[in-house]
Homo-oligomer: A and B are copies of this chain.
Amino acid sequence: MSSTSRLRSLNIDNINPHVKAAKYAVRGELAIKSEEYRAQLKHKNPPTPPDSPLPFDTVISANIGNPQQLDQKPITFFRQVLALLENPGLLENEEALKSSFSYKQDTIDRARWLLREIGSVGAYSQSAGAPGIRQSVADFIERRDGFPSDKDQIYLSAGASSGVNTLLHIICANPKTGVLVPIPQYPLYTATLSILNARCVPYYLDESHAWGTDLNVIKEAYDKAVSEGTDVRAVVIINPGNPTGASLPEQDVEAVIRFAAEKKLVVMADEVYQTNVFVGKFHSFKQVLCKLQKASPGTYDNVELASLNSVSKGMVGECGHRAGYFELVGFDEEVRAQIYKFISIMLCPPVIGQCLMELVVNPPKEGDPSFELYNKEYNGVKNGLKERAQALYEAFKEMEGVEIGEPQGSMYLFPTIHIPQKAVEAAKKADRSPDEFYCLRLLDATGICVVPGSGFGQKPNTLHLRTTFLAPGTDWVGRWTTFHKEFLEKYN
């Protein structure tokens, strides 16, 4: 037996090839290396020769939109309610809560209401989420869009990622199924399509027009895919864009819907950055679809739209809670029954996260006791993000060989970088793409972790990187500027 037992069941050549094929650079090699640096700094491990001490004293994780890992504070109202839900025993002494901990009456009332709706945050809820919370989400969508929303079309999820996973599982029927995905894109889409052994049908966003969505480009991508035998079933739109920050004008949203109606495509609208808009205005796909339906009765009745939202983004930044939702419009009943079955296998999304989603879509209103503080905190985060985006943008503008448009929204900048020929050669020698090479050098020299453009997709012969603008202060931006100068000097 000892001879057979030396071999394992699983090795890199016999596991699921579709998992192997998936790429997800946001938490890839660079992120892993940055975590090692972080651990090294935390434990002050003496460097083992021949390593020299790290040339920086903090790691800046600009690879992922994770505001509370940096210095963003959570919003007090949300967290006070969540504390009451975790420990309802606190509610037994309202007076002490108010006097010693400045809890306001609306905070206490909301916690009591949520507890009635869910029973306990320790109990499984219905698989699509607690009915009262779904109703609250539907009410929010009605207020936002001015059109009806039905709680039975709302599915709470463990972050928007889990919602995307669900929807793509339903849509991807066989290896010929194709989904139109913007490039550059948040790589959740391509990774999940890989795992499902379905086809990504890429369409390029237009960098020269502030990363806009050009319908002609989508059409070309669609026609090409169809001519190659791909059964295109859905189109993904990330609005505001990730990694681009672009915010779509209403007519572009409309154009996508018209196209989807014509070609019978499911529209997957990733709208997790809906409140992170600096330039222009957010137009939800749901609202624009309802307007079209109203204007041309009958024509758009069966457009299938899934729009996704999250507690991780916006001014909330509660990524660790893994909460989100998607709303369906126009889906077939039998298909929805399959969606229900699929999500029920994982039982339900985290219940405390569901409650947080409720708080996010239904925050204190003007006149409520908690409103003033909520509003101050919310605007503080909002202004802070804008300032940080602007500061980083100014720094990039000064860097030689970096091209960048004005920050528009989301949490990212996605500049073009021009890399000297010698650096391209050095990258090739190191078996790296040039953007990856640059980002690795940046990490090693400064502790700043960003993601190479290749992790999101980019037009051939262009190079980019994605960085969040969440990190506070200007010190890290200075480190980057210095590195960039030295990098160019070395390779020019």
Contacts and interface: CB of A to CB of B under 8 A. Distances in A.
Interface of A: 1-2, 4-12, 14-17, 19-20, 22, 24, 26-28, 32, 35, 39, 64, 66-69, 74, 76, 79-80, 82-90, 93, 96, 100-101, 118-127, 131, 158-159, 161-162, 165, 169-174, 188, 191-192, 195-196, 233-234, 261-262, 264-266, 298-304, 317-322, 330-332, 334-335, 338, 340-342, 344-353
How many monomers of this protein are in the complex? 2
Given A10-B266, A69-B124, A322-B350, 17 more contacts: A1-B299, A5-B261, A5-B301, A9-B264, A9-B265, A10-B170, A12-B335, A14-B173, A16-B196, A19-B170, A27-B127, A69-B123, A79-B87, A82-B86, A83-B90, A188-B345, A195-B345
Given A119-B68, A320-B124, A262 B10 contact: no
Contacts of A9: 171, 233-234, 264-266, 304
Contacts of A342: 19, 22, 195
A161 B335 CA distance: 23
Contacts of A66: 123-124
Nearest to A97: B100
A4 B87 CA distance: 54
9 contacts: A2-B298, A16-B172, A16-B173, A17-B173, A20-B338, A93-B101, A123-B320, A169-B195, A319-B347
A191 B124 contact: no
B122 A19 contact: no
A171 B16 contact: yes
B100 A96 contact: yes
B87 A93 contact: no
A165 B346 contact: yes
B64 A124 contact: yes
Contacts of A12: 332, 334-335, 338
The 3 A-B residue pairs with the shortest CB-CB distance, nearest first, are A320-B351, A83-B87, A96-B100
B262 A4 contact: yes
Contacts of A64: 124, 347
A190 to B, nearest CB: 10
A171 B19 CA distance: 10
